Structure formats: structure tokens, C-alpha cells
Amino acid sequence: MGRWSGKKVAVLCGGRSAEREVSLRTGEACAEALRSRGLDVTLVDAGLDLDVRLRALGAEVAFVALHGRYGEDGCAQGLLESMGVPYTGSGVLSSAMAMDKVVSKLVFRGAGLALAGYRVFPASRAGSIGVADLPSGLPAVVKPACEGSSVGVHVVKEAGELPAALADAARFKGDLIVEEYLRGQEVNVAVLDGVALGTVEMVPSREFYDYVAKYTPGSTTYHVPARLPPEGTARVSRDAETAFRALGCSGAARVDFIVAEGGIPYILEVNTLPGMTGTSLVPKIAAGKGIPFPELCERILDGASLKG
């Protein structure tokens, strides 16, 4: 029997971010999986009345299936801490640092992890940034600092594409980040309770592993485990655990890398609430290790706690 058997479990999903639709799908999948394990689960769309709904439900633990702002950035975690409701995933500070790519890059650098060259610009400068301002010229990757699921991310190959990419990224919260475009294998590592669970390599049919490639079945080929030599797998797994610890993460997380020529893994970000849909990566990695989706969800739930 799981730790929360017989307790009222609230699966938090939806929310108000640009990733709302993906979060709804994650929440529905996780709720169904937990119910199949015999748990008393209620799906809760996390709106402005979240505290009222959790009290009315008598929620004893929260499985956080939110993505993006207000759910993955420490806001929901702060509410749950103040209410005394144990929850899955990372705490307030870890969530906030991981969500802000400017902050997390500083943490990764301090931990000795390899990073692509990058520059940070205020969103107000979007209209005045030229090719000469970029860290390594073109091609380059333009992204908002505080979004996930590749929302607002663009690979810019020609100078004429740059203004539109910057304008789109500037629509979202936070600064603009322009990174050196790295060629290599797109590899993600699942980390559960501080230990690397396994790897997956994505080969998208599109330019890169963007929103469409992530959430449209058939648009990406997956290799589980990633096609790396044993020493490459060991290194990327070790770096993922280092990033997890450096941010102070808890529960399950997904760490994203580009493994460039020479086998160097360049870290992109840590997702403290990774997607858990039918096309999501952490469930694929777990399945490759013989862990069925319902068992994975209950293992994540078993780790729920207050972090303060």
C-alpha cells in the first residue's frame, strides 16, 4: 500500500499559464493512473480560488501536475506550504530558480556544468537587437527566460528572421535569452529523488524539439535509452544529478541537454514538473526501466512533503 492510501489526493492541473492545455492532459493522465492504484483522487483546475477548493475538498496531499507560470515557478508551492498541504515536486525556491533560465544558468555555471554561449537582454530591447549583439552570430536560439514547453522559442538562421523571433519571445514574462545554436543530440535525463533514472534521445522531424514536436504524436522519433556510449551516458547522468542538487530539487525532474561533438553535454534547463502525457519523456524513460506509468505516478506521490 502506498503512503497516501486512504487519504484525499488532489491532482492540480490546468492553471493560468501558456502551458494550460498540456497541464490539463498531464493532470488527467496522472489522476487516472493514481485511481488505478486505488487512491482517492480529485482533479482540481488550479484557478484563483485554488485555496478555497482545496479546503472544501479536504485535500490531504497535492500531486502537482501544473506547468509554467503560477504552477511550476514556486507560486503554487508557496500556497501549499502556507496551507500545510504536502505536495509533490520541488519547493518554492528550487521551483522559482529552475523556471527562471537566467538564474538557473548562473547556478549551473557555479556547479561546473557546460553551457552554450548566451546573452541576456531586457524584453524592452527586443526591437533594437541586431546580429552584432548576439553571442555567436547566426544561427542562434531566441527564448523567453521564464516559459517552458518551448513556448516562444525560435531557431534563427537568417538576419531577417531575428526581429519577429525577438518580438514573439518578448510577449512572455522575463528577459530575453539569445543562445549559441549547438548542433548535437537532444538528450533528456529523468531524475527521481536525486538519482538519474535513465535517458531518452529525441530526433524531431522539425528544426528542433519545439512545442509541436513535443505534443504531436508521430512528429518525433524517440530512442530509449539515448544513443550514447557508456561513458557518455554516465557523464550526462552525472551532470543531471549535479544540476538537480545544485537547484535543491525534490521528487521527479527532467534535465535537458544537447550532447555536442566530442560528447560534451551542454545543459539547457531543469524541468521541475515534467510533462506526464502520452508523448512525455519521463514516462518513456520509466517504461524503459520497467516502471509502468501508474507505479511511476504513485512513486512520485509517495515523495510528497512540505519543504519549508
Do residues 149 and 208 lie in contact, with contact meaning Cβ atoms separated by under 8 Å?
no
Q: For residue 143, which phi and psi values (nearest 5 degrees)? A: -150, 150
Q: For residue 78, which phi and psi values (nearest 5 degrees)? A: -65, -40
Reading phi first (left if > 0) and then psi (alpha if -120 to 50, else beta), residue 38 is in: left
Q: What confidence score (pLDDT) does residue 301 get?
A: 98
Domain spanning 97-114+183-297 has what CATH number?
Answer: 3.30.470.20
Do residues 187 and 171 lie in contact, with contact meaning Cβ atoms separated by under 8 Å?
no
By annotation, the residues acting in catalysis are 19, 149, 215, 254, 256, 269, 271, 275
What digits encode the pLDDT tens for the residues 45-104? 999 999 999 999 999 999 999 999 999 999 999 999 999 999 999 999 999 999 999 999
pLDDT band for position 277 (cuts 50, 70, 90): confident
3-state secondary structure of 49: coil
Other Cβ atoms less than 10 A from the Cβ of 300: the count is 24
What digits encode the pLDDT tens for the residues 143-175? 999 887 678 899 999 999 999 999 999 999 889
CA-to-CA distance for 66 and 44, rounded, in angstroms? 10
What digits encode the pLDDT tens for the residues 105-120? 999 999 999 999 999 9
Listed in sequence order, the residues at least 6 apart from 282 whose beta carbon sits closer than 8 Å to its beta carbon are: 190, 197, 252, 254, 274, 275, 276, 296
CA angle 25/29/72 to nearest 5° reads 60
CATH architecture of 118-180: 2-Layer Sandwich (3.30)
Q: Which CATH number fits domain 8-89: 3.10.150.10, 3.30.70.100, 3.30.70.1170, 3.40.50.20?
A: 3.40.50.20
Do residues 249 and 94 lie in contact, with contact meaning Cβ atoms separated by under 8 Å?
yes
pTM of the model: 0.94
The residue ranges of every structural domain in the chain are: 8-89, 97-114+183-297, 118-180
